[in-house]
Structure 1
């Protein structure tokens, strides 16, 4: 259960056939026996009462709110597009790093019912994102990220320039973000699904995402409820939330000084320029980040409380 957006995902978010898989057909293959039997506690995560939902300006850093819990937890987290590179029925795991290089990143999410403020237990949470150079697993051929140019790149001006009008349909990969694309490879790094514990927490271990043309740095997520966890994985239920998590500019600029991020030749879109982030701070998916200011390479922890309506259906294919 889990895919990508490209410049890959530039707005407007439209391309290809809509991906509308019914959750009742959801079946996940578990990587090992009993993989879903135990879920680690998410650790200390910013609670809804203290999370910033006051609508931080684009590019700002989440601050602290003083409103009561009753007021704050009635704030639904923003719904966003699923993007073209979501892969359903994938990996049940908390560590989604595989062999990808990058700054260690721990993502701690708390999922609550936005109306009652109660934690959602046993919800299935997907996350997926690009690697340090903007590549999404399963869709490398569509990516417009990349690192240092190859040393054996051809040079000079071609003498046999093509002529005439092009024929046929343009390639389907590349831009947009609303229409689903079928995977073009078997890779599945930086994708995973895990279940929330009794307090609504779920924790993933991965690497700090990179960037690609047309989008700021982000992580995709989905929350599925009312399904059943079995020895084979997660089955049935509905998708009540599809969203994205965002990173403040200070952290992204710091990451850009560290290899392999520093080798990227791709123009970066800032948080303020992004067409998906709505500028509403935590409510819009802006993470609270913690790291050593002068040594981000040691690792980053991101936390957020996600308020959802468990009775709603939000697949992200019609946003």
Structure 2
């Protein structure tokens, strides 16, 4: 403080000026605060709009997927009622390891179908069905003196077998039950089976059969009562089948193969028609394949495929 400066108390005018400055500053802060709140409000509003749009798009996408019923197909003649409650259906059969991951949803509500009984059955690496070896026409194995991986002999003659294609049900001719099984879906509608990559036989592309049963009862003897709400087939893309054909024992098959586009059962509709989503090492498919699909079904309807 210098000697020229006044030391007398500040007067009312000064206080009024200070008060005014405080109000102006406070008002400015208030404006900033309001402006910030407005910005936050606008940001929140934009975020909410974006979230709403995303949710709407997601709901629309889900609805489109959900409302498509998975194609119904024929049961084929080689079905055996659910008498093997198991997830591993391999029974030491040779072939490329396959993990089959299935999910079942109500196509109308999109909700998972829990506690449903899912059957799967398919031929072995050379086209034979368990319980029906005398009926199914697999390619057989190559003679022991044939070069490794080289198909030999001529394809079987006669009419293509009805296995998996059409025809009425046939009674089993043997007690074998490999590559067949039934298991229940969990609360998320999911069930997983362990098997081997199927082979092929005359007249059909590579496929797996399935049935979904509901409203029945689980017993020690199997799944009883209820009804089949879905009967379908799963299919494999050509790339995977061609790669599998280079691996033993598939490579020893002498059967003419029907391609996916030539098959009379697959309706060429992709996932809706039963085309599986596959994961595997393209350089070494022999290590194993994981196949997955979601089935949209109508639990109140009966679709037994007969």
| Fold conserved between structures, TM > 0.5 | yes
CA RMSD in angstroms, aligned pairs only: 2.0
Deviant stretches of 4+, over 3 Å: 148-152, 171-176
8 Å CA contact retained: 2:83, 2:223: no
Q: Could you say what secondary structure the match of 2:91 adopts? A: coil
CA distance in structure 2 between the aligned counterparts of 1:299 and 1:80, rounded to whole angstroms: 27
The equivalent of 2:86 in structure 1 is: 93
Report what 1:218 is aligned to.
Answer: 207
Question: Could you say what secondary structure the match of 1:189 adopts?
Answer: coil
Gaps in structure 2 of 5+ consecutive residues: 1-57, 146-157
Q: TM-score, normalised by structure 1?
A: 0.71
Query: Is residue 77 from structure 1 mapped to residue 70 from structure 2 by the alignment?
Result: yes
Q: Can you list the C-alpha shifts for 1:76-122, whole angstroms capped at 9, x where unaligned? A: 00000000000013200000000200000000000000000000000
Q: 1:141 to 1:232 in 2, by over 3 A?
A: closer
Alignment of 1:305 onto 2:262: no
Structure label with greater radius of gyration: 2
**Deviation by residue 1:259-309 (Cα, 9 ceiling, x = unmatched):** 000000000000000000000000000000000010000000000000000
> Aligned to 1:126, what secondary structure does the other structure show?
strand
Pairs aligned (count)? 235
Q: 1:198 to 1:261 in 2, by over 3 A?
A: same
Pairing 1:5-44 to 2, within 5 Å after superposition: none
- Structure 1 distance, partners of 2:193, 2:86, is 8
Q: Is the CA contact 1:142–1:173 (under 8 Å) kept in the aligned structure 2?
A: no
Q: Whose helix proportion is higher, 1 or 2?
A: 2
Aligned to 2:7: none
Match of 1:113 among 103, 106, 109: 106
- State the distance in 1 between where 2:142 and 2:95 align: 19
What's 1:36 paired with?
none
Higher relative contact order (Cα pairs below 8 Å, separated by 6+ residues) = 1
| 1:122 equivalent in structure 2 | 115
TM-score (norm 2): 0.74
